[in-house]
Amino acid sequence: MERAFNKSRLILWSSVALLFVLLPFVFPGGFALSILSQLGIAIIFALSYNMLLGQTGLLSFGHAVYFGLGAFVTAHAINFVESGVFGLPISFMPLVGGLAGLVFSLILGFVTTRRPGTPFAMISLGIAEMVAASALMFTTFFGGEGGIVTNRTAGGAVWGISYGPQVQVYYLIAVWCFISMALMFVITRTPLGRIANAVRDNPERTQFVGYNPTRVRWIMMSLAGFFAGIGGALTTINYEIITAESLGLMASGNVVLMAFIGGIGQFWGPIIGAVLVTFLQSFLSNFTQAWLLYFGLLFLLIILFSPGGISSIITIHAPVWRAGVMKRLLPSYMFALWAGFVTLVGIIGVIELLYRGTLVVGVHVAVTWVFAGLLVLVGAFFLRRAIRAVAQVWADLTPELARWS
């Protein structure tokens, strides 16, 4: 077995750590800090989800359950600290959330992992619905509509860290994000991680080799629940309030989008997805009501044309880059980019007109309609040609690349 951290990896991981440390100095504003904190949480959550989907082949539609339950348990733990039931520095609260996620995923995972594939997807959805519905029933634990409110400065300052300023919360999230990323990466290199891949690819053969696929799925699910719980705990600390929404179906669906848009084939794919999706959510939702629609369309496009996500688009270009023939792809890419841009502007025009334009009627609206429609038609016409051109260049390149490697 290769070592998880060789020299080049050590350099890479240290630069990631350095990046985490430096980011607040580059973007010191309050808004930037809150986005960075969200990013850290999203990265943990998306990576923990990929332990299921990417590594073990379990398509879960209920991963937010463990995230949310971890968050609620943490909220209660913080409140207990505040009322003096027991003492624990806030810095270690993510462990509480993680353990809660672990316990719940051990219990629920025992039921859900009994069947792989499509039934697993449906069952995870059903379990998620069940937990979401119970959240409105048990109001003492989930706080009903209002949720549970906490105070992250509970227990006073430990080692001079009070968690009053957002920067301190950011660094807490950054540290836990880094630890979780490293641990999850190490897990992919352990025998367990490898067997999980085997279970994903060929459960029957894994069984013949002497492993129990159901148990491997169960263990992986529990570990994923642990890391999701850490993410949930950090959310509680970050926002100081947690509502039943955080374990609902929307939250579960969101993490599916993150992991898949980023790409489930690479360890770092979900990180890209988490960053992209969080940015889109924070910025797009300021500009347009239709941001979820753009989001869904982006998701459909990725599935239709690049099911490996953004990370696979990057990895397929690595051999081209190494062979130094990137410049042959560029003209067709520029063409596609241009056509895609025109189409995109047209589609955005049509969608926004539908959202707002129905309210106002007039000549200028009609002109805009015609213009947007024309852009879509022209863009789509050239986009088809561009896609064909790109496919042609790739078809020419493939035999050459085979010679290179």
Partner 1 sequence: MEFFLITLLNSLSYGLLLFMLSSGLTLIFSMMGVLNFAHASFYMLGAYFAYQTGLVFGFWPALFLAPILVGVVGAITERYGLRKVHKFGHVAELLFTFGLAYVIEEVVHLIWGRAPVDYRIPESLNFTLFTLFNTQYPAYRAFMMLVSVGMLVSLYLVLTKTRIGLIVQASLTHPEMVQALGHNVPRVFMLVFAGGCALAGLAGVLGGNLFITEPGMAFSVGSIVFVVVVVGGMGSLVGAFIASLLIGSIQTFSVGFDYSFIDLMAALGVIIDSNSSWYAGLSITISQTAPVLPYLLMVLMLIVRPRGLMGTRET
CA dist 139 to 105, 143, 144, 148, Å?
A: 22, 5, 5, 10
137 contacts partner 1 (rule: CB under 8 A): yes
Beta-bridge partners for 161: 158
Among residue numbers 255 through 274, which ones bind partner 1 (CB under 8 A)?
A: 256-257, 260
Task: Identify whether the C-beta of residue 262 lies closer than 8 Å to the C-beta of residue 310.
Answer: yes
The interface mask with partner 1, positions 32-61, x = CB under 8 A, is ---------------------x---x-x-x
User: CA 373 to CA 382: how far, in whole Å?
Assistant: 14
Sole binder of partner 1 in the list 40, 101, 116, 262 (CB under 8 A): 116
276 contacts partner 1 (rule: CB under 8 A): no
The conformation of residue 53, written as its DSSP 8-state character, comes to I
Beta-bridge partners for 242: 148
The interface mask with partner 1, positions 348-377, x = CB under 8 A, is ---x--xx----------------------
Interface segment toward partner 1; rule CB under 8 A; list 28-36, 132-140, 191-199, 359-367: 132-140
Task: Give the nearest distance from C-beta 32 to partner 1 in angstroms.
Answer: 29
Nearer to partner 1, 136 or 149 (CB): 136
CA dist 267 to 149, 216, 379, Å?
A: 35, 19, 35
Q: What are phi and psi of 58, to 5 degrees?
A: -100, 110
CA dist 194 to 59, 179, 190, 206, 268, Å?
A: 18, 21, 6, 11, 17
Sole binder of partner 1 in the list 43, 121, 172, 220 (CB under 8 A): 121
Task: Give the nearest distance from C-beta 112 to partner 1 in angstroms.
Answer: 8
Report which of 374, 60, 404, 14 is spatially closest to residue 217, judged by C-alpha positions: 60
146 contacts partner 1 (rule: CB under 8 A): no
Among residue numbers 187 through 226, which ones bind partner 1 (CB under 8 A)?
A: none
Sole binder of partner 1 in the list 47, 220, 230, 290 (CB under 8 A): 290
Among residue numbers 322 through 351, which ones bind partner 1 (CB under 8 A)?
A: 351
Longest CA pairwise span in the chain (Å): 73
Q: Which amino acid is at 324?
A: G
111 contacts partner 1 (rule: CB under 8 A): yes
Q: What are phi and psi of 275, to 5 degrees?
A: -65, -50
Nearer to partner 1, 299 or 371 (CB): 299
User: CA 353 to CA 300: how far, in whole Å?
Assistant: 22
296 contacts partner 1 (rule: CB under 8 A): yes
Whether the CA torsion 123, 42, 226, 53 is positive or negative: it is positive
Task: Give me the residue label for tokens 């260049």.
Answer: 393
134 contacts partner 1 (rule: CB under 8 A): yes
Task: Give the nearest distance from C-beta 114 to partner 1 in angstroms.
Answer: 6
Interface segment toward partner 1; rule CB under 8 A; list 88-96, 302-310, 317-325, 393-401: 302-310
User: CA 232 to CA 381: how far, in whole Å?
Assistant: 46
CA 289 to chain centre: 22
Nearer to partner 1, 137 or 395 (CB): 137
Interface residue list for partner 1 (CB under 8 A): 53, 57, 59, 61, 111-112, 114-119, 121-123, 125-127, 129-130, 133-134, 136-140, 249, 253, 256-257, 260, 289-290, 292-293, 295-297, 299-300, 303-304, 307, 351, 354-355
